[in-house]
Amino acid sequence: MTQPGDLRLAVGMVGGGPGSNIGIAHRTGLLLDDRYRLVAGSFARDAGRQAAMVAQLGIDSDRSYADFRAMAVAEAARPDGIDLAVVATPNDSHVEIVTAFLEAGIAVACEKPLATDSAGAAELVALAAERDLVLAVAHCYSAYAMVRHAARLIRDGALGDLRFVDVEHASGWASVLHEAAGNKQAAWRMDPDVAGYASVVADIGIHAFHLVRYLTGLEAEEVSAQLDTLVPGRRVADNATVALRLTGGVPGRLWASMAATGQAHGLKIRVFGADASLEWFHEDPQHLVVRRADGTETRYAQGMAGLSEDEARLNRVGMGHAEGFIEAFANYYSDIADELFARRDGVPVVHRELSYPTGTDGLVGIQFVEAVTASNAANSAWVRPVSKKAGQ
C-alpha cells in the first residue's frame, strides 16, 4: 500500500490485455488525473502477450504476474503493494478474482457484471462488507458530470414528483452476425454458455438500468420483459424490451439492443416529473436538456456557471470543451481515489450521495437481469426482482 504523502495510488490490473478496448478506457481513465500509477498486472494468460503488455506499460518485471492469485498474495505482502485491483476479465471469472483480492485485503474495482449470477455477486458484496474494503463496479455512465447534475436536480425536486422513466441502450454494433466472422468481441457475447441467453441485458441493459436507479433513486419492483433475437443465426437474445414498475408505482420502460441497425452507442434516458422532464444522451454527454410543462426546452452545458457542486467538481477544461468517455472513467476512479486516500491516511471518508457505483449496485443489476430472464421465460409475466437485501 502506498504511504501517506504518496501522491498516487498504486494499481494492479487483471485482464484488459492486448486488443481490449475496455482495458484502454480503464488505463487512460486511471491516468488522466494523475492520481494512480499502474504498477502491477496480470493482463493475459498467454506469456508472450503478458510480456508484451508489461513492456508496453513499463511495469517492473517482478510485478508481472502470470496468475491473479499469485498477484493478490504477492502484492498484499509487499510494503508498496497495490491499493486497488482493477478487474477487466471475462464475466465468468469475476467472482474468483475479486474474491482473491478482497481476501488479500485489497480494494477492487470490477468490470460489470460483477458476477454471472446474483448468488456470486451477493457473496462478493458480503465479503467486501466483512473485510470493510472498497468494492466498485464500473457502471461508468453515471460518472459523467451532467449525469451527476441530472441526479442532483431530481433529488432536489426540480422535476417535481417522478411519473415515468424511459431509458434505452440500443446500439447497432451487432446488427451483423459478427460472431460468424470470428469477431472476438462478438464471440463471447453471443455464446449463451458464457454470456447467458439474456446477453444483451447483462451486457448493456444493465447499464441502462443502473442509470435509472442512479438518476431517480428508484428501485425496480416488477418487470415484464420480452427477449428477442433479431439477427438470424444468433444464439442469444440481442434485443430486450422491458416494462418497469419502480418504487411507489412509477412506471417506466427500458430497451436494450445490440442490433439496432445504424445506431452508434445508443444510451439515452428521459425522466418525467410533474413539473418538468429531463433528457441525457450519451453521444452528446456534455449537455442536459430540461423540458418544462409550458413547452420550453432548455439545454445546459457542462462547465457553465450555476450548476450543482456535483457537476462542478468533475469539470476539467470548462464550458464548450467536450469531455467524454475517458473522462467519465477518470471521474469514477477519482471518486474511488478520494475514498482510498482517506482510508489510507486515516481521515474520515467524505460520504457523497452521488459517487461511484458499489458492489451492491452491481448486485442489484444482476438481480434485474435475472428478473428479466424469468419474465421472458414466463411469456412476459410480471416478475419481482429478488430484493438486494435478501440477496446480501
Least gap, CB of 268 to a copy of itself (angstroms): 11
Contact status: 332 vs a copy of itself (CB under 8 A): no
Least gap, CB of 74 to a copy of itself (angstroms): 23
Q: How many Cβ atoms sit within 10 Å of the Cβ of residue 132?
A: 8
Concatenated DSSP letters for 72-117? HHHHHHSTT--SEEEEES-GGGHHHHHHHHHHTT-EEEEPSSSSSS
The single residue listed with the C-alpha cell 508481472 is: 64
Binding positions for a copy of itself, 166-205, rule CB under 8 A:
166, 171-173, 175-176
Cell numbers placing 14: 487483471
Asked if residue 348 has a cis previous peptide bond (ω within 30° of 0), the answer is no
Binding positions for a copy of itself, 80-119, rule CB under 8 A:
none
Stretch that binds a copy of itself, among 64-72, 85-93, 108-116, 257-265 (CB under 8 A): 257-265
- Near a copy of itself by CB under 8 A: residue from 155, 291, 343, 384: 291
Residue 76: Cβ-neighbour burial (10 angstroms; 0-12, 13-18, 19+): middle
- Near a copy of itself by CB under 8 A: residue from 300, 332, 333, 356: 300
Contact status: 159 vs a copy of itself (CB under 8 A): yes
Cell numbers placing 325: 468517455
Is the Cα torsion angle 311, 317, 318, 324 positive or negative in sign?
A: negative
The single residue listed with the C-alpha cell 446480501 is: 392
- Near a copy of itself by CB under 8 A: residue from 243, 312, 374, 377: 243
Bridge-based pairing state of the strands 162-170 and 220-228: unpaired
Give 48 or 58: the residue with its C-beta nearer to a copy of itself: 58
Contact status: 19 vs a copy of itself (CB under 8 A): no
- Near a copy of itself by CB under 8 A: residue from 47, 70, 251, 390: 251
Please give the radius of gyration of the chain, using alpha carbons only, rounded to the nearest integer: 21
Contact status: 8 vs a copy of itself (CB under 8 A): yes
Binding positions for a copy of itself, 202-241, rule CB under 8 A:
224, 226, 228, 230-231, 239, 241
- Near a copy of itself by CB under 8 A: residue from 18, 33, 183, 338: 33
Residue 322 CA to residue 83 CA, distance in Å, equals 31
- Near a copy of itself by CB under 8 A: residue from 247, 248, 320, 353: 320
**Total residues interacting with a copy of itself, rule: CB under 8 A:** 85
Residue 16 CA to residue 161 CA, distance in Å, equals 42
Which 8-state DSSP code applies to residue 358? B
Least gap, CB of 211 to a copy of itself (angstroms): 15
